[in-house]
Amino acid sequence: MSYSPILIVHICAGSLGLLSGTAAMSFPQWFPPPCAGGKGLCRSLFTMGALAVYLAIVRHQPNNIGGGFLTFI
């Protein structure tokens, strides 16, 4: 079973979001890693949301279009 490269990037962005969100919550606010973790979390969520909308449009899944759009905004 082969997966599209966009789906793999979507999954990697979600995994990166979990890791960077955990990093952001693990350190005190004044420490530099939470800033990097928060920025990484935002970037990965935007990437994941945009790719989710694209994949839902391509695969004709209207409910997932709304979910991806709400994640992106």
Q: What is the pLDDT, as a whole number, of residue 28?
A: 75
pTM as predicted:
0.77
Contact 52, 4 (CB under 8 A): no
Contact 12, 31 (CB under 8 A): no
Q: What's the domain count of the chain?
A: 1
Give the residue numbers spanning the domain of 43: 5-72
What tens digit of pLDDT does each residue of 15-73 get?
A: 988 988 888 888 777 776 667 777 888 888 888 889 989 989 998 888 888 887 887 77
* CA trace torsion 23, 28, 33, 39 (10° rounding): 70
